[in-house]
Amino acid sequence: MKISAKWLKDYVDFEISGNNIDDIVHRLAILGFESEGVEHIKREFENFVAGKVLECVKHPNADKLSLCKVDVGTAVLPIVCGAPNAAAGQTVPVALEGAKVKDFVIKKTKIRGEESIGMICAEDELGLSDDHEGIMILDDGLVAGTPLKQLFGCEDIVFELEVTSNRADALGYLGFAREFSFMTDKELRAPEVVLEEAAERTAGNIEIEILDPGACPRYCGRVIKNIKIGESPDWLKQKLLAVGLRPINNVVDITNFVMLETGHPLHAFDLENISGRKIIVRKAKIGEKFVTLDGKELELNDRILMICDAEKPAALAGVMGGLNSGVTEKTTDVLLEVAYFNLADIRETVKFTNIHTDSSKRFERGVDPNDSEYVINRAAALIKELAGGDILSGIADCYPSQILPKKIELRLSRTEKVLGFKIDASFIVSSFNKIELAAEVKDADTLSVTVPTFRPDITREIDLIEEAVRLYGYDKIPELNISSIGLESNEDPDEELIDSLREKLRNLGLVETFSKSMVDGKYCAPFGKDPVKIEHPLNEEMNHLRNSLLLPLLLTADKNIRRKVGKINIFETGRIFYYDKGNIREKDSAAVLLTGIKSVQIWHTPETLYDFYDIKGIVTRLLNDLNVRSLEFSNENIPAYFDESQALNITSGGKIRGTFGLISKETAAVFEIRQPVFCFEASFEQINDMLSSSSTDLKELSKYPKVIKDISVLMPVSESADKVKEHIKKISGNILEDVCVADIYKGEQVGSGKKSYTFRMSFQPYEKTLSDKDIEKLLNKIINGLKNDLQLEIR
């Protein structure tokens, strides 16, 4: 809502200037009206005058230009003009030499060989509006040479204020002035309306019938005859221009002005076009056609409220007039409408037509049904003043069931309880009365408040408590600390695990990503789970919800590969969504992705690429750190989006708790990735199931030295290291502390189809030092075991 300081001064005698503007902006914000912008308007019109076009002929060398001779009072100037509407006899705004039009300064010049001194201006060139349809035509009564400063010069401050959607009353100057008057402690002065009615009665000239009083509780009409449509006077034009409205003609300008002043929209019909001299307020018929003021043809339905005459619809109630019923230059008799509509009905029309107007904005929020007489009389008096004519006697007022102010009680004790501090009853009463909430003391704890109908937002006690603290000042609310409420917690059980897992993954050197939950459905296919579709997606890239966390990680990997990022080591936690037997399931999950260069070549290490053992290592480290005691892996039932030959399921208790390994070529291809990508994914539910609550059992430390021995085993390529390790453990018993693969050799020396693994065993005795003999015995036992039981060759 734009508020001009100059205009506001008509209602509250308070000067806003450059000196107090910051203070005003602050105080308005504290009162609930935030400034989204403050504009200082200063229109000097230096070197602009009114001129008379004496002559206007075609330019000899240009089709679209004309040569004008313009009397500017002090001289008659030759001016080349490009506007199609230029004609002799017009009174026009002229920029003289030295005048600044937009960003350039007018100079004596030649245009296509013809001298031109000055410029005839359009409205936009004067900064009055955006209109550039032709030169602006001024009032013929003006004397040539009249400075434009006298006409349009102004200095003003215009606030762009945010009015919250509950405050319909503040969308008019008078309503806002009520608040401003409270804030500045200056009296509010509403314009007095002195109405001079003719003898002829309204009653015989217009009849009003409301067929849907639920949708239209009140409709007032007034007829003004014998008016003369013309331009508005400058004071009116200036007011409208100040808040960004383009002047049209006196009657339309007055309806706009009164809407801005009172906050109550009104409409003017040409009475000639109201067939049967009858207004019928009804819902449209299904399929009924209507053409709006701006030429849009609509096909209506039975939820749209219409203002109709005896034959046809004349306006979309509360939103916009029709093309054929409005005021034109030829209009002599007008019907003024001031109505009150049900909020929901107007919203229905706005929703259906998608037409938003200054009028619909106010009706949607709720105007005052009981200010209709004032509004209609104010407009009628102004029309008579500016356009002449006779105001017929009486208002045609259809108001079958009166809407009355509500009475609401406010308890002081309750107010204190909600606010946490006390506001004096006397302050509440006096402040409420200043903004016309009639408050009186009922008993020691209770105020009785009559809420006027222009405040539909106040319906119960809590609304009054809010008003009380708003008027008291949000800046004066004390800051109290909350007290302890004990240990009762509503902590989500997963929350701690999620954070602990994120911390561990980050400490393993991984980079955390954060991706949209919405994805292109084509990426969901590889992951099997039935994905959830979004009904009205913004675009195809966001038409489904992700059904795996690998999906966003693979998308991220692809994007970063394209950016030539060599090392991609990322993780993400978050929700995945899918259908499970018709129900939408949401699961918190975690996923890791590794691809590309693990470490670049540097003086101490050659370049290495990520491989299967990296993802296995990270998963093992992670699960160990999370206190998963006995890890089991299995390569049965590997999900199809992994490559079966390089992937493992984490299992416990016979159930799959997560999968890691190489993403299958086909899946990677969906994401246009052509390099090996290693991933891990598990849901928090799966991870949670693996966690053991037992604490670590500490091992006793031995006094005797540890012995380390290697054996190299020649085995078929298909044989797994795990099997050999398990057998060594079985044979050695407790004395074996650890066994690991220290070296792998494949090549000519061992022959094809074979590989040589060197197992490094550490033996830790607890009772004595191992002698050479003991060790030899142990080694022989192991070697024989491997030879005989597993048919392996020892090198």
Partner 1 sequence: MNDLNELKTRILDDIRSASDYAETEEKRIKYLSKKGEITLLFGKIKDIEPVNRKEFGQVINDLRDEAFEIINSLKEKYSETSSEDIDLTLPGKMPESGSYHPLNLVKDELKKIFRKMGFSVAAGPEVETEYYIFDALNMPSWHPARKVTDSLYVEKDKLLRTETSSVQIRTMEKGKPPFRIISPGRVYRNEKENATHTAMFSQCEGLYVNRGVSFSELKGTLKEFFKALYGKDTAVRFRPHYFPFTEPSAEVDVSCFKCKGKGCSICKKSGWLELGGCGMVHPKVLENVGIDSEEFTGFAFGLGIERLAMLKYGVNDIRDFTENDLRFLEQF
Q: Which of 543, 540, 590, 600 is nearest to 570 (CA)?
A: 590
Integer Cα distance of 463 and 293 in angstroms: 39
Q: How far is the CB of 579 from partner 1 (least distance, A)?
A: 10
Helix or strand or coil: residue 276? helix
Q: How far is the CB of 792 from partner 1 (least distance, A)?
A: 22
What mask, x for binding partner 1 by CB under 8 A, covers residues 619 to 638? --------------------
CB under 8 A: which stretch of 209-217, 255-263, 512-520, 619-627 binds partner 1?
512-520
Q: Which is nearer to partner 1, 181 or 513 (CB)?
A: 513
Q: How far is the CB of 22 from partner 1 (least distance, A)?
A: 9
Integer Cα distance of 372 and 520 in angstroms: 54
Q: How far is the CB of 165 from partner 1 (least distance, A)?
A: 6
507 in contact with partner 1 (CB under 8 A): yes
Q: How far is the CB of 481 from partner 1 (least distance, A)?
A: 5
505 in contact with partner 1 (CB under 8 A): yes
Q: Which is nearer to partner 1, 257 or 472 (CB)?
A: 472
* The two three-digit tokens of residue 674, written as one number: 């052509």
Q: How far is the CB of 569 from partner 1 (least distance, A)?
A: 8
Q: What is the DSSP letter of 564?
A: T
CA distance readout (Å), 564 to 272, 427, 557, 568, 669: 74, 68, 10, 10, 18
Near partner 1 in 590-609, by CB under 8 A: 602-604
Q: How far is the CB of 490 from partner 1 (least distance, A)?
A: 5
Integer Cα distance of 202 and 224 in angstroms: 9
- Exactly one of 502, 727, 746, 760 binds partner 1 (CB under 8 A); which one? 502
CB under 8 A: which stretch of 87-95, 329-337, 495-503, 627-635 binds partner 1?
495-503
Q: What element of type H or E holds 390?
A: strand 390-393
- Exactly one of 13, 443, 586, 685 binds partner 1 (CB under 8 A); which one? 586
741 in contact with partner 1 (CB under 8 A): no
What mask, x for binding partner 1 by CB under 8 A, covers residues 460 to 479? x-xx-xx--xx---xx-xxx
* The two three-digit tokens of residue 521, written as one number: 């459905």
Near partner 1 in 355-374, by CB under 8 A: 364
Q: How far is the CB of 468 from partner 1 (least distance, A)?
A: 9
- Tell me the number of residues near partner 1 by CB under 8 A: 87
194 in contact with partner 1 (CB under 8 A): no
Q: Are 76 and 69 in contact (CB under 8 A)?
A: yes
Q: Are 309 and 245 in contact (CB under 8 A)?
A: no
Please give the order of strands across the beta sheet that includes 446-451: 406-411, 446-451, 438-443
- Number of neighbouring beta carbons within 10 Å of residue 153: 15
- Number of neighbouring beta carbons within 10 Å of residue 778: 20
CA distance readout (Å), 391 to 217, 232, 257: 25, 19, 19
Q: Which of 83, 82, 79, 81 is nearest to 116 (CA)?
A: 79
Integer Cα distance of 289 and 313 in angstroms: 8
Q: How far is the CB of 494 from partner 1 (least distance, A)?
A: 7
Q: How far is the CB of 606 from partner 1 (least distance, A)?
A: 14
Q: Which is nearer to partner 1, 335 or 469 (CB)?
A: 469
Near partner 1 in 153-192, by CB under 8 A: 164-167
40 in contact with partner 1 (CB under 8 A): no
What mask, x for binding partner 1 by CB under 8 A, covers residues 537 to 576? xx---x--x------x---x--xx--x-x--xxxx--xx-
What mask, x for binding partner 1 by CB under 8 A, covers residues 114 to 153? ----------------------------------------
Partners of 78 in the β-ladder: 69
Q: Are 86 and 97 in contact (CB under 8 A)?
A: no
40, with CB counted inside 10 A (0-12, 13-18, 19+), is exposed
701 in contact with partner 1 (CB under 8 A): no
Near partner 1 in 401-420, by CB under 8 A: 417-420
Integer Cα distance of 761 and 739 in angstroms: 4
32 in contact with partner 1 (CB under 8 A): yes
Q: Which is nearer to partner 1, 51 or 366 (CB)?
A: 366
* The two three-digit tokens of residue 400, written as one number: 């079958």
